[in-house]
Structures are given as C-alpha cells and as structure tokens.
Amino acid sequence: MMSIEQHIKENAITLLKKMIAIPSFSKEEKEVADLIENTFNQQKIPVNRLLHNVYALNKYFDPSKPSILLNSHHDTVKPAKDYTSDPFTAVEQDGKIIGLGSNDAGGPLVALIATFLHFYDAENLPFNLIIAATAEEEISGKHGVELLLNDQTFKANLKDSPIIGALVGEPTKMQMAVAERGLLVLDGVARGIAGHAAREEGTNAIGIALKDIQAIQQHFFEKLSELTGKTTAKVTVIETDNKAHNVIPAQCRFVVDVRVNELYTFDEVMQELQSIVTSELSPRSFRLRSTLIPLDHPIVLAGKELGLDHYGSPTTSDKALMHFPALKIGPGDSARSHTADEYIYIYEIEQGIDLLIKLIERTAAHFNLP
C-alpha cells in the first residue's frame, strides 16, 4: 500500500509535469496560477489569489504564533533556441524530467507545496506556514511576491502574525544560500557640447564617457564578503542619439550593472562610484538589495544540524524583496537554469521534499527549546 508521503511526492511530480505543459512566461502566468489554485481546491484547502499569485495558510493558522513563508515562483524565461524536444512537454528520461521551468523553479516550487501539504493539518507547530506560488520573479517584476507581501488582504489574512523567516525555493542542490548579492542598475549620462567633426568643434561626450567607464571598470570596492565575495561594477551598454558621422555628440549614455555584496548599502555604492566620475549616475531602482539571513537564525541552525552547507549566492531572487530573514534553498542545480533541455532529477525532488520536511521539523524544535 502506498504511503501518504509517497503519495505526496508522486503528486508533486505530476503537478510539475502539468506546469511544464503550460507556457508561463513572466506576466503571462494566469493558466499556471489557475492550475496551482485548482490543485489546492482539489485538496479542499482554502486558497487565495492576487492576480497571478496563489497562496494558502495552514489549517490551524494561529495569529498568536509567528509565521514562516514557503515561497517560489511559477514564471519562466522564454525557452533557449537549442531545445532538442518540445520545451512544453515534460519528457521523463533517465530518471529526470526535461522541460522549461522544470529546474527553475518548478521543482523547488512543487517540493515546497508538498512540504506545506505534509504540515497542513499539523496542530502542534510553534509557527504557522504560508505557501505562496508567485509571479514575475524572472523579470524582478512588481506584480509578484512584492505585491503580495504589501497587499492589505494578505496582511489581513495573517491577522498580525509576523513573518519571521522564509524558505525561498530556487535550485541550490538543497544547500543553504544564506546571502545574495544585490543588483543595482545605474544609468550614466556624460554631457559634452555638440559640434562639427570636420572643424573639431565641441566637446565629445563619448570621450568623457570612456574616461568614466574606465574609472568604473578599474574601481575596487574594499569590503570583501566571505559569503558573496566582492562588489563589482561592469558597464554593459553605451550609446548616443547621434547617428550622423560628422556630428560631435553632446550626450553619451551608458549602463552600469553593479552586483553588491551584503557589506554595502546601495547608497554607499552610489556615492563611491559618483565620486570617481564626472558623468551623472542615477539608479533605476533600489529594490533588489543584497540580503543575509543571520547564521544563528533557527532555520539556518536547523539546516546545519541536518548537515547542510551554507554559501553566498551570486544570483538574485525574490529573497531580495523580503524584509524579513529568508533562506534560498531547493532541489535542482542553478547551472541548469535557462539552458536548453533544462531538467531536474526525480530523486532530487523526492529527496528535497524529505529534507525540507526535516528542516521544518528541526526549526520547530528550536522554537520549542526552553
């Protein structure tokens, strides 16, 4: 006879295959959100919806207890061009599931859903559990987890229960990504004076920009993190409005991609870079900040007791949008994300579910300590 846990695992695999079959590019996630919503409905679990974000609370939700959020995303990037199979058909082969979003982040999401279902009707947890399958993570959009966490109805459903931690489902090989570098995108504008190239008139804004770009590329940020390494600034775009060969441009724009470790604030990085250039730098957003969950947080301590390693992640996730401690963790491998023939092993999902359940149990044990 099939055990309940095996049943949950098999349902997770089935759900992943159904998700792969539904195109769910960022901002186009309605149908996959419908699928997830219906999955909870079929389990007779009250489910809530905010645009394409789906969430549910455990059966014995108690507002006098704190809450832990289980979150991952259901949107995907467009498929890479080199797929050898239909990216929207879940192909099971050699113990793995191939298909768009299988690894990033379908596998982590269904593992978290399975974990939530395991604890759904547990009465003795010292905290509540919230499961949230959210949208627009791949584009750092404003209608995903950020919208949900700031929604008044969502807050009302929590009834003032504070979120004191989160598990953010991403493919980390089930190791603990305790820190992430933040992403700060800067627009630079170098200003010169227009003139005729033949008469050597004006001041060339490109020359000004090139000096500033060189200064940025060579700049060294002194604060080095043991978890996420150094803060880096790379110029990735340069352009002028001028298309005529004989006009000295009065303006040259460039874009700086800055990856910020957890030792810097975005304001500090901005001031440091602006001090070494004459171009005007302006941030597109301060949303995707660097993050660090304290290493003595009960979730991290629980993971260490289970033998999990911790590290700093160079990539940014929805963890950056959470203003409470969050741990990035999940089955799969980040190196497979956004690749052709993306895949995840079935055993990774099954073992991931087991480990996530143990992680919640060990975290609960820390709350119950005298």
Closest CA to 55 of 134, 147, 112, 168: 134
Residues 6+ apart with CB under 8 A from 151: 50
Residues 316 and 258 sit within 8 Å (Cβ to Cβ): no
- pLDDT of 21 over the 90 cut: yes
| pLDDT value, residue 151 | 98
Q: What pLDDT shows up at residue 369?
A: 55
Write the pLDDT tens digit of every residue in 300-353.
999 999 999 999 998 889 999 999 999 999 999 999 999 999 999 999 999 999
Look at the chain and count its residues: 370
Helices and strands counted in the chain (H then E):
9, 18
Taking only the tens place, the pLDDT of each residue in 160-173 is 999 999 999 999 99
Average pLDDT, the chain: 95
Domains in the chain, please, with CATH? Answer: 4-180+290-367 (3.40.630.10), 182-283 (3.30.70.360)
Residue 141 CB partners (closer than 8 Å, separation 6+): 26, 27, 135
Of 23, 35, 29, nearest in space to 79 by CA: 23
Averaged pLDDT, 184-189: 97
Extract the tokens encoding 11.
């349902």
Contact in structure between 333 and 96 (CB atoms under 8 Å): no
One-letter identity of residue 301? L
Q: What are phi and psi of 236, to 5 degrees?
A: -115, -15
> From the centroid of its chain, how far is CA 12?
21
* Chain segment 147-161, per-residue pLDDT in tens: 999 999 999 999 999
Q: How far is the C-alpha of 260 from the C-alpha of 266, rounded, in Å?
A: 7
Confidence (pLDDT) at 4: 56
d(CA 368, CA 314): 34
Q: What's the confidence (pLDDT) of residue 6?
A: 85
User: What whole-number distance in Å separates Cα of residue 301 and Cα of residue 141?
Assistant: 32
The model's pLDDT over 207-251, given as tens digits with 9 standing for 90+, comes to 999 999 999 999 999 999 999 999 999 999 999 988 899 999 999
What does the DSSP 8-state code read for residue 331? S
Residue type, 88: F
Q: Are 11 and 344 in contact (CB under 8 A)?
A: no
Predicted confidence (pLDDT) at residue 10 exceeds the cutoff of 50: yes
For 332-362, letters b (16+ CB in 10 Å) and e give bbbebbbeebbbbbbebbbebbbbbbbbbeb
370, pLDDT greater than 70: no
**What is the model's pLDDT at position 199?**
86
